Amino acid sequence: MGVTTIAAADLKKVPGLEKYSPRRVIPFVVMPDGSSLLEFGAIVMYILETYDKSHKFHPTIGHRNRAKFFQGLFFVATEAYKAVVPVFLLCFNMKHHDRDQEKLKPAKKKFTEDVIGHLEKELNYDYYMGEFSAIDIMFTYVLTLADMVQEDLVTGKAQEYLQRLHTRESYSKVYS
Ligand SMILES: N[C@@H](CCC(=O)N[C@@H](CS)C(=O)NCC(=O)O)C(=O)O
């Protein structure tokens, strides 16, 4: 599976992109039959079912952890994503004193309550499922984005979790 990176500034300009992504949003996968697959939760599941045949990163049907896996997948793709994007957009490339605090304060509050609150409750082991899984890869993205733009946001158990995720070899490979 090849990966093409599209810069945010080019998203609205790349000719013909709407054929695959009508709202011109990423990510999407061009499928073998030329159609496209949208929604990153669906894309994660598709990649796992296609390439993770040995179930290293996702539990088998009937596995006792399968329900929790679905919870993590849907939580990151919907709630966590929705909570981190406003924080990111209000902070990225902006010095602290230039940030719109009136908008940032409720965005940070929502991120803390929703994402940090979820992890405080659900993170009972080193990783979300106990063993490292695709859910941890998904959380790495959300927590790294938040921590990168606002240093006091990822706290407590979630900060320890993020440090653990950052020490993994795969993290250095993907994010360097
Ligand atoms: N629900 C969609 C959200 C897609 C989305 O909003 N992607 C963002 C980047 S993370 C985007 O392309 N934004 C560009 C824009 O809205 O112009 C998904 O799960 O994939």
The per-residue pLDDT for range 29-57, each reduced to its tens digit, is 999 999 999 999 999 999 999 999 999 99
Residue 74 lies in a domain: yes
> Given this model, what pLDDT does residue 176 score?
76
> Given this model, what pLDDT does residue 174 score?
87
- Mean pLDDT, rounded, of the chain: 95
- Tell me the C-alpha to C-alpha distance, in Å, between residue 59 and each of 50, 75, 118, 161: 14, 17, 21, 21
Residue 7 lies in a domain: no
Residue 103 lies in a domain: yes
Residue 86 lies in a domain: yes
**Number of domains forming the structure of the chain:** 1
CA distance 159 to 164: 9
CA distance 26 to 65: 29
For ligand 1, say whether the CB of 43 is within 6 Å of any of its atoms.
Answer: no
For ligand 1, say whether the CB of 160 is within 6 Å of any of its atoms.
Answer: no
For ligand 1, say whether the CB of 26 is within 6 Å of any of its atoms.
Answer: yes
Q: Probe ligand 1: pick from 10, 14, 25, 142, max atoms within 8 Å of CB? A: 25
CA distance 2 to 148: 27
Q: Probe ligand 1: pick from 18, 21, 26, max atoms within 8 Å of CB? A: 26
What are the DSSP calls for 24-82, one per residue?
A: --S-EEE-TTS-EEE-HHHHHHHHHHHH-TT-SSSPPTT-TTHHHHHHHHHIIIIIIHH
pTM (predicted TM-score): 0.93
CA distance 68 to 129: 7
Residue 21 lies in a domain: no
For residue 27, whether the previous peptide bond is cis, meaning omega lies within 30 degrees of 0, is yes
For ligand 1, say whether the CB of 79 is within 6 Å of any of its atoms.
Answer: no
Residue 144 lies in a domain: yes
| CATH number of the CATH domain containing 75 | 1.20.1050.10
CA-nearest residue, atom 13 of ligand 1: 25
For ligand 1, say whether the CB of 28 is within 6 Å of any of its atoms.
Answer: no
Residue 28 lies in a domain: no
Output DSSP code: residue 116.
I
The per-residue pLDDT for range 63-116, each reduced to its tens digit, is 999 999 999 999 999 999 999 999 999 999 899 999 999 999 999 999 999 999
114's enclosing H/E stretch is none
For ligand 1, say whether the CB of 39 is within 6 Å of any of its atoms.
Answer: yes
The per-residue pLDDT for range 16-25, each reduced to its tens digit, is 999 999 999 9
The per-residue pLDDT for range 125-173, each reduced to its tens digit, is 999 999 999 999 999 999 999 999 999 999 999 999 999 999 999 999 9
Residue 140 lies in a domain: yes
